[in-house]
Amino acid sequence: MSAVRTMIEGKPNRSLVGNIFKWWFIIFNILMIFWIFSIGDEAGNAMDESESEFEEDVNAAAGGIAMTLVCGVWFIGAVIFGMLAMVTKPSGTIITTTAPQPVAENSTAKLTEAKQLLDSGVITQEEFDEMKKKYL
């Protein structure tokens, strides 16, 4: 009989849902980076265009509040989408085990060999009869 063969094939692939969550997490973070930079740019432009010191202070405060809110949304979204991407990530490795296949025994060849052993005197008639029952 042959031995059991085990093959390690590597990591399993993500499911469709897992890929969607992974790419949504990546795209979300890229969009949040663009949003942060656009808020900073808009707040800077508003402060440059302000006509009084009071207007400049108000625009700076508004820019700071907007930046804080966006960072909060970014943090909450990153945690949620990151957890979804992590939960749908496959773990472990694929291991394939092949069970041994029974070897087809040629009963005629075995009986012929047993008859030769009987004729040469190596085995007795009773042993030959047992082998005959076994292979027939």
Residue 43's Cα: distance from chain center in Å? 43
Which residue pairs from 61-69 have beta carbons closer than 8 angstroms and sit at least 24 positions apart in sequence? 63/39, 66/39, 67/36, 67/39, 67/40, 67/43
Q: What is the pLDDT along the chain (136 residues), one digit of tens a residue?
A: 445 565 556 677 788 988 999 999 999 999 999 999 998 888 888 888 888 999 989 988 999 999 999 999 999 999 999 999 888 887 766 666 666 655 446 777 888 888 888 898 888 888 888 888 887 7
DSSP for 90-121, written as a single string: --S-EEEEEPPPPPPP-HHHHHHHHHHHHHHT
- Report pTM: 0.55
Domain limits, the chain: 5-98, 104-136
